[in-house]
Amino acid sequence: MPVTSAQLLPTLKHYYTPDQMEQLLWRSSPTVKRIKKVRVSGADYVFPMVTGRGGAVSGNGAVAVAKSATTSRSNAMTVDHGNCFSAFQLTDKEARASVDDKGAFEPVAVTKMFTSSDALRKTLAAAFFGSGYGEVGRVQGAVIAGASTVVVDSATVAKIDVDTDFVVTTGPLIGNDLPSDALIGGGTGTVYTVSQVDGDGSGNYTVTFTPVAPAAGYVDQSWICLNGFRDATNVPLGPMGLGGALPSFANRTGANWATYIATLFQGVNRSAFVNRLAGGFVLQNTGGGETKTQAVTRAVQLARFQGGEPNLIVLNDKNFNDILIETAGSTLLWKDIQNGGKAANDVAFGIQDMSYMFSSSWVKYVVDDPFCPVNIFYVLEERTIKWVGLTDMERATQDGISDNLPGAPPVTKDGEIPTDRYGLNIDDILTLNPAAVGQDGAGIQGLLSIFGAFVVQNPAHCVVGRFV
């Protein structure tokens, strides 16, 4: 009988691409990459501020003297070091099977270190815009009992992945609408695990999870937080970020806001002078016809009024696009597109750079950061924003992509790591521990550890805003 092609298949080889191994992960936060990182020691980090000049001034000398005891006020904020960990395991068999390109596209040690480093970068980006509770975003629309999907926005999905464990707050109808609110399931919360992510192309994502939603479901605008970022007494374990230092909670109005802002923050009662101690706040006045562009300009003006020299605006890439449309930037979105090489068909739409000019202030850097919460923006005096920590996180946050350029680092970015697993090292953030001997022999457990916090040493010089 004739030989079939199926019988010939064992004689045929696989042809593997000579190209480098691709990675399909989100881009990293350009804001976290650019801010200053400072390594410190000690139990915490303390910075002083002059917060008031008092009222000892008058046309009557006796009146001025009577108030002279309150001429100067100062406060010191005390910042605790939060935790952020990423882990991986490597067995002898994996290491030996992938020592060269004959056995693997990339050594297993390199691939695992790359993904662990990327997880750390993404989680630190979430922490930069958060308040230490591992919050990644909000539920977009109520989730009914027994449901296994939840809709989230792009800023939320940028901070999670398949197999991410998360917890959910009881929601604004029950709590104070804060990430620190009680969790569904009580205590440290019922843990849900992401099993699938689907996007609709318009910035909304459907996340499938297990187990299903409880009897009360998820309330619309409940907070989604990464698992393990609070202890049993509801104390945050993660690094503090802009969500705490420059709060926009409840649009800074109402009883819940009054209670929140009067609660000590890093040892200081910020309710005495909110705009100084918690930064300025701008709410887009859509009722008055204010555009997003005008709201940002008003925030720059407020930062100047409060003594700042703002030089950095951070907003979500979705809102960045909204502003481009408002400013007619969409007329320049496409550039140098030619049909068949004919220059006559060139067309240009969009803008290359966006800057804000206000009086003598020139805000050169406008960063579209996918990790910035949608409809929240920041006008910052960059020199006052920094990371302070017990560990050196400079290399951990650098992915090889310059400034605000798009793209993602190749897997070989961490390829300088020796294939000898005992040589793995990224400065001082990696510890190696023996893993239990299993079916594939001995192994090690790698733990990437970051301890520190993001601080705003002069909140008065910065402004947080909300688009409506």
3-state secondary structure (DSSP) of residue 460: helix
| DSSP states of 404-446 | T------GGGGTTS-SSGGG---TTSEEEEEEEEETTEEEEEE
* 283 and 340 Cβ atoms separated by less than 8 Å: no
pLDDT tier at 359 (50, 70, 90 boundaries)? low
End-to-end CA distance of the chain: 75
Tell me: pLDDT of 293 over 80.
yes
- Alpha-carbon Rg for the chain, nearest whole angstrom, is 26
Contacts of 103 (CB under 8 A, 6+ apart): 97
Give the pair of three-digit tokens for residue 107: 């050594």
Residue 335, pLDDT score = 46
Q: Residue 313's pLDDT is what? A: 92
In 3D space, the residue among 312, 295, 314 whose CA is nearest the CA of residue 125 turns out to be 314
Q: Which pLDDT tens digit goes with each residue over 21-67?
A: 887 887 888 899 889 999 999 999 998 888 778 788 888 888 888 88
At residue 206, the 3 state secondary structure works out as strand
Model pLDDT, residue 124: 94
355: pLDDT strictly greater than 80: no
State the average pLDDT over residues 218-234. Answer: 96
pLDDT, averaged across the chain: 85
E strand or H helix at 115, and its extent? helix 108-128
| Euclidean distance between CA atoms 131 and 267, whole angstroms | 15
60 CB-side CA count, 13 A:
4
pLDDT at res. 238: 96
Among 294, 287, 258, 262, CA closest to 465: 294
Q: Are 170 and 183 in contact (CB under 8 A)?
A: yes
Start-end ranges of CATH 2.40.30 in the chain? 134-232
Q: Which amino acid is at 132?
A: G
Most confident of 88-97, 238-247, 335-344, 435-444: 238-247
- The CATH architecture to which 134-232 belongs is Beta Barrel (2.40)
Six token digits for residue 457: 């040493």
Q: What is the pLDDT of residues 301-354, one digit of tens each?
A: 999 999 999 989 999 999 998 888 887 654 444 444 444 444 544 444 444 455
